[in-house]
């Protein structure tokens, strides 16, 4: 009886705090101007689209219910989302995503992932294995799009029964959710559809254009990856996501970020759904949790970039859902090992997320004497996640290059530990509040980038952890991992996986203590508020690029690249005219050479030797040092910023370079057509060729 009274009091207190937090956080967000009314028309357009979608969903669901076919709105909203991706990204991107999904089902179904396995978990395991196979083969010149397309089609044909079984399971599950929970499924479809608008954009992100697209371009251009750590210090960093994006590009025949972006979005949504279902058991609660995840401003942001933290969140959510049930290593060791390997292959710091889960699995294995299963898990994780670490060790002598180089002392970097001092402000008692209301302290964001869900749902999270051992374990795992990561570097997107876990637990707790009507009203409002904060995540969104896309169509993508990253536009236009030449980007504030397919080099810190060469050359106003640098590199074209040094301009004029293109104040200078350079850097720095030639002697 006392326990019942205590539980009732706890529930009532949590309900009161949830309502209080919702009101206080919402009011504070409004008063502090978090909702970006000035984001170039974003908020007005968003509200119009949201109201139109809500009215349309209401009408369609009412008509469908009367006709005896409930849940029609979810189908319509989902179709519109797919249509938007197909139009703005191209049918090739959508086809590549569908083929990759089929391949992942074909491969993943070879591994046991538990009784009644979820198709999205199967897909995740399959993608992990595919990324591993391609990752180990990166230095070998076998990556022709036709070869990969033929291999993918043959694999799907071989595994067609398993692929069709997974596809039927997805269709049946979606249909069941639409019929049984038409309003919640409509909410999820609408929110997920809105989250997919980030896929419409070309690759505008800084890191994508400075680093991530390098592998994509090299595989498209030459059929192998150069392992060129001299030109790009992150060239051999964990690369599973870059590998999958490169594979999508090979299948599509061109850069196709939206293909894997769409799959990662679906995998993250399904992960939140599966975790909530494992913790609560009610499908409407799982749909609500998935909608909250999809509405997070950073979820939308990760659709616009190849950065890995959104992918990590998807893996962690699925892993948490898997571990919340019974973990059977006797049959599922290889699949679970593949997930841990994927975590390692995505990012070295994921060890913080992996170790607590591995410790729990190891303890369970010891209790149940599943020694062989544990050994297979470790081997699978090592094989799936080990390729980048192996090649990093082989090329640089440092398996986690460029990290911890004070220990490994690779000659390709100074012997110091790589750490961005900008994000070392420290942690204090106001951290949870500051993540949302002072987001600029923790990344290149505006206030609001962390969304409102975590703060609003905090009482629900505590309530769920107090009522369920599984929820408590997941919550503690997320808190411990997130705080440990944040203690090292106070960078918001690095802890997004922890926020995704805690947000899902919070939705489960809110469902347990709120009245049904309050929950049904609060979750859609929370999701709507989250989506209103999308422009706070990155300056690109603040410019509302969707306005140009909606007004001018898909042709605006090219114009967006020219406006926001003119250096890339100049390099692409130059190489399109002269594909056998090479380009030197001397604009160190915008080192966007990754789209140059291995024929463009930056003088920013990503290329340590060229960085030092530029600093040395800029000291000489006569231009003599710059002439030495340009002769040594054999470059034909040079991206020249407005603030180029007098020595650089003097050297270019003396050697005969002339301006041939200009975009947004940035110029591209080139040698005349009969005096093209020799592109010495690419051949000298091709580590893959060097290693293979050495082994063939």
507 & 605 share domain = no
Tokens linked to 104: 């992942």
User: For 640-651, how does the pLDDT look when each residue is reduced to its tens digit (9 = 90+)?
Assistant: 999 999 999 999
- Establish if 677 belongs to a structural domain: yes
8 has a pLDDT exceeding 80: no
d(CA 238, CA 133): 14
- pLDDT, residue 419, reads 75
Lowest-confidence segment of 9-13, 275-279, 292-296, 591-595 by average pLDDT? 9-13
Q: What is the pLDDT of residue 532?
A: 96
Question: Are residues 592 and 514 part of one domain?
Answer: no
**Statement: residue 689 has pLDDT above 60:** yes
Q: Are residues 49 and 88 in the same domain?
A: yes
Domain containing 614 equals 565-696
Residue 295 inside a domain? The answer is: yes
Tell me, yes or no, whether 542 and 591 share the same domain: no
Q: Determine the pLDDT at residue 95.
A: 98
Q: What pLDDT does 115 receive? A: 53
Count of C-beta atoms within a 10 Å radius of residue 658: 10
- Structural domain includes residue 559: no
In a domain, 555, yes or no: no
- The b-or-e profile of 613-645 (16+ CB within 10 A means b, else e) is bbeebbebeebebbbebbeebbbbbbbbbeebb
- Both 9 and 92 in one domain: the answer is yes
Q: What's the mean per-residue pLDDT of the chain?
A: 92
The verdict on residue 309 lying in a domain is yes
Q: Which residues, 6 or more positions from 692, have their beta carbon under 8 angstroms from its beta carbon? A: 139, 140
**Domain membership flag for residue 242:** yes
The answer as to whether 552 is a domain residue is: no
pLDDT at 598: 86
Count structural domains, the chain.
2
Measured distance CA(209)–CA(602) in Å, rounded: 11
418 touches 468 (CB < 8 A): no
Question: 239: alpha, beta or left, given left = phi > 0 and alpha = psi -120 to 50?
Answer: alpha
Assign 458 to helix, strand or coil: helix
The 10s digit of each residue's pLDDT in 520-540 is: 999 999 999 999 999 999 999
Is 484 inside any structural domain?
yes
Q: Which two tokens stand for residue 491?
A: 């960078």
Q: Which residue has the tokens 């505006």?
A: 446
CB 508 within 8 A of CB 471: yes
The pair phi, psi for residue 137, each rounded to 5°, is -95, 5
């Amino acid at each position: 009886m006392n326990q019942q009274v205590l539980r009732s009091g706890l529930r009532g207190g949590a309900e009161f705090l949830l309502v209080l937090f919702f009101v206080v956080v919402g009011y504070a967000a409004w008063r502090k101007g978090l909702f970006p009314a000035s984001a170039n028309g974003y908020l007005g357009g968003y509200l119009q689209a949201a109201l139109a979608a809500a009215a349309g969903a209401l009408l369609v669901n009412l008509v469908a219910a009367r006709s005896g076919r409930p849940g029609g709105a979810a189908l319509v909203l989902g179709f519109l989302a797919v249509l938007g991706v197909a139009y703005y990204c191209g049918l090739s991107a959508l086809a590549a995503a569908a083929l990759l999904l089929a391949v992942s089902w074909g491969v993943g179904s070879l591994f046991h992932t538990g009784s009644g396995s979820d198709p999205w978990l199967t897909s995740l395991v399959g993608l992990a294995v595919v990324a591993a196979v391609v990752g180990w083969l990166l230095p070998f010149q076998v990556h022709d799009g036709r070869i990969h397309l033929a291999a993918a089609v043959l694999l799907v044909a071989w595994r067609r029964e398993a692929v069709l079984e997974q596809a039927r399971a997805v269709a049946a599950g979606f249909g069941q959710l639409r019929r049984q929970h038409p309003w919640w499924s409509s909410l999820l479809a609408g929110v997920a559809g809105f989250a997919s608008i980030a896929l419409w954009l070309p690759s505008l992100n800084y890191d994508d254009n400075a680093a991530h697209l390098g592998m994509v371009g090299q595989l498209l251009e030459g059929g192998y990856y150069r392992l060129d750590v001299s030109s790009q210090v992150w060239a051999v960093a964990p690369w599973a996501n870059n590998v999958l994006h490169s594979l999508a590009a090979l299948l599509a025949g061109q850069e196709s970020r939206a293909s894997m972006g769409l799959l990662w979005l679906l995998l993250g949504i399904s992960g939140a759904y599966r975790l909530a279902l494992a913790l609560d058991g009610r499908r409407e609660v799982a749909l609500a949790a998935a909608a909250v995840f999809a509405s997070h401003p950073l979820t939308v942001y990760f659709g616009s970039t190849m950065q890995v933290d959104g992918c990590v969140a998807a893996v962690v959510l699925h892993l948490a859902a898997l571990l919340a049930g019974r973990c059977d290593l006797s049959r599922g060791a290889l699949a679970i090992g593949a997930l841990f390997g994927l975590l390692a292959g995505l990012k070295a710091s994921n060890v913080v997320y992996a170790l607590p889960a591995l410790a729990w699995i190891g303890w369970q294995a010891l209790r149940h004497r599943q020694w062989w299963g544990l050994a297979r898990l470790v081997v699978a994780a090592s094989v799936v996640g080990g390729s980048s670490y192996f090649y990093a060790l082989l090329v640089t002598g440092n398996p986690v290059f460029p990290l911890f180089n004070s220990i490994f002392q690779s000659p390709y970097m100074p012997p110091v530990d790589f750490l961005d001092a900008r994000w070392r402000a420290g942690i204090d008692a106001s951290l949870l509040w500051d993540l949302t209301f002072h987001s600029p302290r923790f990344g290149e964001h505006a206030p609001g980038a962390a969304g409102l869900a975590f703060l609003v749902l905090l009482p629900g999270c505590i309530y769920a952890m107090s009522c369920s051992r599984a929820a408590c374990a997941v919550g503690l795992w997320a808190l411990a991992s997130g705080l440990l990561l944040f203690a090292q570097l106070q960078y918001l997107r690095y802890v997004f996986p922890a926020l995704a876990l805690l947000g899902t637990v919070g939705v489960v707790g809110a469902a347990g203590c709120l009245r049904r009507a309050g929950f049904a009203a609060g979750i859609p409002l929370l999701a709507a508020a989250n989506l209103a904060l999308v422009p706070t995540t990155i300056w690109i969104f603040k410019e509302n690029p969707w306005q140009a896309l909606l007004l001018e169509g898909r042709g605006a993508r090219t114009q967006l690249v020219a406006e926001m990253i003119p250096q890339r536009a100049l390099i692409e236009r130059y190489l399109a005219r002269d594909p056998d030449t090479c380009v030197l980007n001397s604009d160190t504030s915008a080192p966007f050479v990754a789209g140059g397919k291995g024929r463009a080099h930056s003088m920013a810190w990503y290329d340590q030797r060229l960085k030092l060469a530029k600093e040395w050359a800029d000291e000489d106003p006569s231009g003599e040092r710059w002439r030495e640098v340009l002769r040594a590199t054999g470059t034909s074209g040079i991206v020249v910023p407005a603030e180029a040094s007098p020595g650089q301009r003097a050297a270019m004029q003396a050697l005969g370079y002339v301006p041939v293109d200009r975009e947004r104040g940035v110029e591209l200078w080139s040698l005349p057509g009969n005096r093209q350079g020799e592109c010495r850097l690419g051949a000298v720095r091709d580590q893959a060729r060097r290693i293979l030639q050495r082994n063939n002697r």
